[in-house]
Amino acid sequence: MDYDLKTTASKFYKAVVNFGFAVFGAMTSAGAAALIAVDGEKANNLPFLIVAACFGAFSLLFVFLIYAQFEAVKGNRIYIRRFARIREIPIDEVRSIDSHSNGYVVVCRNGIGFTVDKRTVGADDLIGLIRERTAAKIYSVSCNAPVEPKNNSARDDEPQSDEIIALEEIGREFRENSDAFKRKQATEVVLVTSIAFLAIISIGLLLFFLAESLIGLVSAILSVPLFFAFLSVPARIKGNIDKDLEHDDEWLGNKYKYQNPKVKGHSRGKFLPRCIMLSILCACSLCIGAITGGVSFSQKPVEESDLKLVSGQFEYVRTVSDDYAIGLKGDPVEYRIGSVEEPRFNKDFFKEVKPGDVLEVFIEMDPNLISIKYKERTSWTYVYTVKSEFETYFSYDDYVLAFEENRNNGIIGFAVSSSIFAVSAIGMFACYLVYKKEEKFETVCV
């Protein structure tokens, strides 16, 4: 169908959504693969690669649905597409249009309407066309003051309305300060992109070097060209603003009115995204703090009196992920030094203990035997003491020290997460105070 006017989703917005979902899926999968071991062996990445592929497919579907949705006008009908459904509204059903810093809310006679995001390409033109073809008034959500639609048949010498005068003044101020605005926008994009790039590449490399996760390495490598691609955004922003400056002051004022601190809705437009970002940070840090704190403060070391002795002839030692696994001849159980205790395990064990030497290991009275598939071994468990006839390579005291160090690291993680939560909560409250303070100086309703 050929429409008189049709909006389209922002390409930049679609790219950000797609990139965000892809990175989230890859990082989630890599983190899960690093934390979960399958059958006691090195983590199997295949299930998590499938999860990452599902995230990628979902992100592409989501972007397609964003691309497919639109608002359009043809004759005296408005067409709204959301996902796979197109809704048709007679244009004379429109009763009012609420304007705010992030978009428009079109209200119809039955109280049901639709919204238009200002990031949508053609949003302002769409609202202008609806205004021309209906008697609806536009209201500013900030001040609830009606703004009469323009009368295209008015004479050029007719006195200008207060709204047009205000918009022209706002447009002139924006034109005068456009260079500073371009620098500010470019700085914000570069800063956010740099922080995101450093976070992604750091997490990716940590997952690769600490957990040998290929997904982490791939994420880090892919972040480099994406980082440089996003660095081209400031140039596009500058070009778009330069094109906007070719319009008259009224047009400029209407598009950039919420960048002016005197306009009602300016402070709210700044507060909402900051509030959302800090809320997400609060929620994430609260969850991480609850997990690390709950585990750290509830854990207690195994009592020495709860251990029992197992002895036998040494057969082999092997590395499983970051654990050392010891096999005794004829014993179906494999005995392991965990990655937490590994730094305190005496590495002379590998040079001094030979196959056939008698080893003594202490395990829990009722060990948690975990099934494996390794030669004739059928299960494994952790040990708390390892010694030969002549030397102790890992003592109960070593275990306790390693346990305390690990718990202290968890407590530090809890403290850091709690600090981030507290700073985010304080920041959110501070943003609210700034918002209410700046709101007092907003005097212009347009």
Confidence of residue 303 (pLDDT cuts 50, 70, 90): very high
Angle at 151 between CA 149 and CA 153, to 5 degrees: 165
pLDDT tens digits for range 120-142 = 788 888 888 888 887 655 544 44
Would you state the pLDDT for residue 214?
67
For tokens 């900030």, the residue is: 142
Question: What is the Cα–Cα distance from 86 to 74, expressed in whole angstroms?
Answer: 14
Query: What b/e readout covers 151-168, taking b as 16+ CB neighbours within 10 angstroms?
Result: eeeeeeeeeeeebbebbb
73-100 in b/e burial notation, b at 16+ Cβ within 10 A?
Answer: beeeebbbbeeeeeeebebebbbebbbb
pTM of the model: 0.58
Report the pLDDT value the prediction gives residue 118, as an integer from 0 to 100.
75
> Of residues 240 and 54, which shows the higher confidence score?
240
Average pLDDT, integer, range 237-249: 85
Which is more confidently placed, 313 or 267? 313
The one-character DSSP state at 7 is: -
The secondary structure of the chain in percent helix, strand, coil, rounded to multiples of 5, reads: 55, 20, 25
395-399 long-range contacts (CB < 8 A, ≥24 apart) are 396/304, 396/307, 396/362, 398/341, 398/344, 398/345, 399/301, 399/302, 399/341, 399/344
Burial of 219 (0-12, 13-18, 19+ CB in 10 A): buried
Q: Which amino acid is at 315?
A: E
Is the pLDDT at 236 greater than 70? The verdict is: yes
Question: Using the 8-state DSSP alphabet, how is residue 301 labeled?
Answer: P
pLDDT band per the 50, 70, 90 thresholds, residue 357: very high
Mapping DSSP onto H, E and C, the string for 164-213 reads HHHHHHHHHHHHHCHHHHHHHHHHHHHHHHHHHHHHHHHHHHHHHHHHCC
Determine the Cα–Cα distance for residues 165 and 309; give it in Å rounded to an integer.
90
Tokens representing residue 181 in the block: 């605005």
CA distance 354 to 365: 27
DSSP type of residue 109:
T
- Rounded-to-integer distance, Cα 416 and Cα 338, Å: 25
Within 10 A of 293 (CB to CB), how many other CB atoms are there? 17
What is the per-residue pLDDT for 87?
Answer: 85
Banded pLDDT at 26 (limits 50, 70, 90): low
- Per-residue CA distances from 224 to 49, 55, 160, 290 (Å): 21, 21, 52, 33
Average pLDDT over the chain reads 78
Which strands sit side by side in the sheet containing 77-82, from one edge to the other? Answer: 5-6, 70-74, 77-82, 85-90
pLDDT at 147: 45
At residue 422, the pLDDT reads 92
What confidence tens digit (pLDDT) does each residue in 55-110 have?
666 666 666 666 678 888 888 889 888 777 888 888 888 877 777 666 788 877 76
- At residue 261, does pLDDT exceed 70? yes
pLDDT band at residue 153, thresholds of 50, 70 and 90? Answer: very low
Could you tell me if 259 and 266 are in contact, meaning their C-beta atoms sit under 8 angstroms apart? yes
Query: What's the pLDDT at 58?
Result: 64
Per DSSP, 155 falls in state -
The residue written with tokens 């952790």 in the block is 382
Measured CA to CA, the distance from residue 239 to residue 234 in angstroms comes to 9
Determine whether domain 304-403 maps to CATH 2.40.30.10.
no
Structure confidence at residue 268 (pLDDT): 82
pLDDT value for 37: 40
One-letter amino acid at 220 equals A
List the domain boundaries for the chain.
1-68, 159-260, 304-403
List, as one string, the DSSP characters of 32-91: HHHH--STTSSPP-HHHHHHHHHHHHHHHHHHHHHHH-EEEEETTEEEEEETTEEEEEEG
- The Cα 396–Cα 430 span in angstroms is 50
Query: Other C-beta atoms within 10 Å of 19: how many?
Result: 19
Within a 10 A sphere around the Cβ of 335, how many other Cβ atoms?
23
Q: Round to whole Å and give the CA distance between 14 and 135.
A: 34
pLDDT tens digits, 382-408: 999 999 988 999 999 999 999 998 888
| pLDDT on residue 88 | 87
Q: How many helices (H) and strands (E) does the chain have?
A: 11, 17
Spatial neighbors of 246 by CB under 8 A, at least 6 apart, are: none
Query: 35: pLDDT confidence band, cut at 50, 70 and 90?
Result: very low
Helix or strand or coil: residue 129? helix
pLDDT at position 308, please?
A: 93
